[in-house]
Structures are given as structure tokens and as C-alpha cells.
């Protein structure tokens, strides 16, 4: 009987939580809200992408770049591309907005969708090759590919976060 009490009491000791090993719960940053300071109708009064049924709005996580002279792409220097209605975009690195501006549709209706990014905030220095080149938009399931045309330009690939 004494043995039973000893066995039962062994596992019932209360331990103080070890603060060193407590996991920190980080608050997730709402990446869409980083663009809230830009007026909804700053560039356009309507959402050009909804008019052509292109599901481009949302948070897109960068996962690959290809192209360039060597074909190997470029080194990742940002985390997310955030696109809000009315063609507002932002580029986010480490939960900080480092570049923003608007997107213009370059293509004609009923053609492949081609866009161009125009930046108002240019981070310095940063390796982002979205602005300047015309990109063909290809959305397949939860992936988006921004494909540059011919001759040593870069293409980027993203997965949709929300």
C-alpha cells in the first residue's frame, strides 16, 4: 500500500513553467493593412481586374525567380506581393512595406493579360525586378506567374496566401 502511494505521488508534482523555454506567440501582421494609407481611388475608381475576371487581388508569397542572362533568376529580396482592389500593389519584406504603387493593364481585351507595375516608393537598395517590365499574368490554382517577354528579363512566381 505504501508503494502505491509513493508511485501515485511521484507524477503529481507541480512544476513552475520554465520561462526560458516558453514559446513566444508572435502576432501575425495583416499584410493587406500595410496598404491602408493609400486611398482606395488614388489610381482608379474601379477594380480593373474584377472587370476582366482576374483573381489577382490578395497576398502572394514569392517563391521563385527565373530568367536573366544566366537563366538562374535573382536572389530573393522580398517576401510578399500584396495586391488590393483598384490596382494598388505593395511589396513586403520582413513584414514592412518597402515598395508600393499601381498596376496598369497593358494588354487589349480578349488577349493574354499583360500588366506593368509603377512604383511610388522605391526601396534602396533592393533586388526587385517587378517594376519597369511588362509582365504576362498566368494564374493557375493558387499560383501566379508574372512572365517577362524575351531577352534576359526576369519572371517571378508566387503562391496565394489568402
The pLDDT tens digits of the residues spanning 133-161 come to 788 999 998 999 998 877 667 788 999 99
Q: Which pLDDT band, with edges at 50, 70 and 90, does 2 fall under? A: very low
More confident call, 89 vs 111? 89
Report residue 18 as a C-alpha cell: 520554465
Vertex 71 angle, CA 88 and 83, to 5°: 10
| Inter-residue contact 147 to 129 (CB < 8 Å) | no
Number of structural domains in the chain: 1
Domain assignment of residue 132, yes or no: yes
Instruction: Look up the CATH number of the domain holding residue 141.
Output: 2.40.128
pLDDT score for 3: 39
Sign of the C-alpha dihedral, residues 27, 60, 83, 73? Answer: positive
* Radius of gyration for the alpha carbons in the chain, expressed in angstroms and rounded: 24
Beta bridge partners of 145: 138, 157
Q: Which pLDDT band, with edges at 50, 70 and 90, does 6 fall under? A: very low
Report residue 80 as a C-alpha cell: 510578399
Domain assignment of residue 23, yes or no: no
The size of the chain, in residues, is 162
Range of 75's domain?
28-160
| Inter-residue contact 159 to 142 (CB < 8 Å) | yes
Beta bridge partners of 155: 66
Domain assignment of residue 2, yes or no: no
Report residue 122 as a C-alpha cell: 522605391
Q: Which of 100, 107, 160 is nearest to 135 (CA)?
A: 107
Domain assignment of residue 105, yes or no: yes
pLDDT score for 139: 94
Q: Which pLDDT band, with edges at 50, 70 and 90, does 67 fall under? A: confident
6 vs 122: CA distance, rounded Å: 69
Domain assignment of residue 5, yes or no: no
pLDDT single digits (tens) 105-126: 998 777 889 999 998 876 655 5
Report residue 11 as a C-alpha cell: 507524477
Domain assignment of residue 114, yes or no: yes
pLDDT score for 64: 85
Q: Say yes or no to pLDDT of 73 above 80.
A: no
Q: Which residue has the cell 493609400?
A: 38
As a whole number, mean pLDDT of residues 46-53 equals 87
146 vs 158: CA distance, rounded Å: 9
Indicate the DSSP class of residue 35: G
Amino acid at each position: 500500500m505504501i508503494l502505491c502511494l509513493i508511485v501515485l505521488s511521484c507524477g503529481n508534482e507541480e512544476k513552475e513553467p520554465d520561462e526560458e523555454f516558453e514559446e513566444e506567440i508572435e502576432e501575425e501582421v495583416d499584410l493587406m493593412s500595410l496598404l491602408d494609407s493609400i486611398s482606395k481611388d488614388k489610381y482608379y475608381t474601379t477594380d480593373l481586374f474584377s472587370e476582366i475576371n482576374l483573381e489577382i487581388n490578395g497576398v502572394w508569397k514569392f517563391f521563385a525567380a527565373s530568367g536573366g542572362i544566366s537563366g538562374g533568376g535573382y536572389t530573393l529580396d522580398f517576401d510578399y506581393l500584396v495586391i488590393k482592389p483598384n490596382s494598388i500593389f505593395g511589396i513586403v519584406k520582413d513584414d514592412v512595406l518597402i515598395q508600393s504603387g499601381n498596376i496598369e493593364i497593358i494588354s487589349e481585351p480578349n488577349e493574354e493579360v499583360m500588366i506593368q507595375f509603377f512604383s511610388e516608393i522605391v526601396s534602396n537598395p533592393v533586388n526587385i525586378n517587378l517594376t519597369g517590365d511588362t509582365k504576362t499574368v498566368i494564374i493557375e490554382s493558387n499560383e501566379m506567374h508574372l512572365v517577362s517577354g524575351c531577352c534576359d528579363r526576369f519572371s517571378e512566381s508566387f503562391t496565394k496566401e489568402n
